[in-house]
Amino acid sequence: MNTKEHSNFFQGKVFAILGLLILLIVPNFVDTNVQIVFILILFYALCASCWNIVCGFVGELSLGHAVFLGVGAYISSLLLMDCSLSPWIGMFIAAAITAVFGVIVGLPCFRLHGPYFALTTIALGELIRIFVENNETVFGINLRGAMGLVLKQSGNQFIAFEFANKITYYYVLVALVAVTILVTWLIKNSKLGFYLTAIKSDPDAAESLGIKLTKYKLIAMGISCFLISFAGTFYAQYFRYVGPSRIFSHDMSVQIALIALVGGQGTVFGPLMGACLLVPITEFLSEEFGGTLPGLHLFIYGIVMILVVLYMPRGIFHPVTKLFKSIEAKLFSFGKKSVQKGEK
């Protein structure tokens, strides 16, 4: 791409930078309802990016990632409720425990492949959900069963991860997403990323070259669980409620996976792009038709899933970037004055 004379850092990235700027700045100037949508976009982008680290790179389909989201949310919330520990510290403890949990779960699961792996993760998700819904206390820890955890409202306190306005939550989320995307990028361009790509394209060949399959899969799993636990903490602090029937649900897992798959698994910015496309659609649909047509947004999810698998099995990331790059190239070839037109 960068063969032209004026090739610089921004070449071919104008629209990407524009999009990121929109995500950064626009939420300041819109009303609360739209801010909520922006928060959800980034929340799902965060979850999908974490999913992408293990599943997009390794190539196994986890349909139980909501488990790790939920475990993170539960641990940090319980630490806050029972030990009055600030979520800012709690989220790291939760992340560490979730990562260990993920590795322990991954150890047997990664021996399986394809549908067997997917089924095991589904079974695991259901198992944890039923377990939490049916147990009031576990080892003396009060899980509160199917009631879920209700976090107290204490007003605008930075130390308690509680803010009066949505925009502060949004920028916390921006930071989390940025860290996750950075980690994804680092993994992709590191030895670990190359190992994982090798494992994905041919496990047997990778193993014969001396790559320890399970070891690297588990490292990816640990990183993924560590990061998705932050999303869980955010979920708990933002909604002030953690309900097991939602956060551990199969639907949640499928949504996370679908957003990453639509965006483009194994790409750095794909999950973010997928969330930007899917979340506004589903939010709009459930807002407009949620009362009269329950399930419409999940119906759309199903249809989108079919269409993506049939026509864009690698996700929308590459086609969309290609499209934008060609638009950009056209705009530049017609002179600088038409650049403004490209903004939407």
Partner 1 sequence: MLDSVLLALIYGILQGGAYGAIALGLSVIFGVTRVTNFAHGAMLMLSTFLYYELFTRFGIDPYIGILLVTPVLYLLGMATQKFLITPLLKKERGTTQDPASLLLITLGLGYAISNLFMMIYGSDYKTIPTAASRSYLTVEIGDFLFTTQWSRVIAFLAAFIIGFALWFIINKTELGKKIRAVSQNRDAAAICGVDVYKTYAVAFGLGIAAVAVAGACLSEYYFVQPQVGTLFGTKSFLIVVLGGLGSIPGAILGGLIFGIVESVGAQFITSSASSMLTFILFMIMLFIRPSGLLGKGGKV
Distance CA 29, CA 37 (A): 14
Owner of token pair 């980034």: 42
Find the binder of partner 1 among 123, 175, 281, 339 (CB under 8 A).
Answer: 123
CB of 254 to partner 1, least distance (A): 7
Asked if 122 interacts with partner 1 (CB under 8 A), we say yes
Cα atoms in the Cβ-side hemisphere of radius 13 Å centred on 153: 3
Distance CA 69, CA 121 (A): 14
CB of 81 to partner 1, least distance (A): 24
| Window of 45-53, 68-76, 105-113, 210-218 that interacts with partner 1 by CB under 8 A | 105-113
Find the binder of partner 1 among 116, 185, 284, 334 (CB under 8 A).
Answer: 116
Residue pair 218/40 in contact by the 8 Å Cβ criterion: no
Of 146 and 211, the one with the shorter C-beta distance to partner 1 is: 146
List CB contacts of 295: < 8 A, sequence separation 6 or more. none
Residues 42-61 touching partner 1, rule: CB under 8 A, are: 59-61
CB of 258 to partner 1, least distance (A): 8
Of 48 and 124, the one with the shorter C-beta distance to partner 1 is: 124
DSSP 77-117: HHHHHHH---HHHHHHHHHHHHHHHHHHHHHHHTTS-HHHH
Which two structure tokens, joined as six digits, stand for 241? 């409620």
Residues 292-331 touching partner 1, rule: CB under 8 A, are: 293-296, 298-299, 301-306, 309-310, 313
Distance CA 96, CA 98 (A): 5
Find the binder of partner 1 among 7, 10, 89, 113 (CB under 8 A).
Answer: 113
Asked if 261 interacts with partner 1 (CB under 8 A), we say yes
Cα 336 from chain centre = 37
With b meaning 16 or more CB within 10 Å and e meaning fewer, what string describes 160-196?
bbbbeebbebbebbbebbeebbebbeebbeeebbebb
CB of 147 to partner 1, least distance (A): 15
Of 192 and 305, the one with the shorter C-beta distance to partner 1 is: 305
Asked if 81 interacts with partner 1 (CB under 8 A), we say no
3-state secondary structure (DSSP) of residue 11: coil
Asked if 131 interacts with partner 1 (CB under 8 A), we say yes
Asked if 145 interacts with partner 1 (CB under 8 A), we say no
> How many residues in the shown chain lie near partner 1 by CB under 8 A?
43
Binding site for partner 1 (CB under 8 A): 59-61, 63, 108, 111-116, 118-120, 122-124, 126-127, 130-131, 133-134, 201-202, 250, 254, 261, 293-296, 298-299, 301-306, 309-310, 313
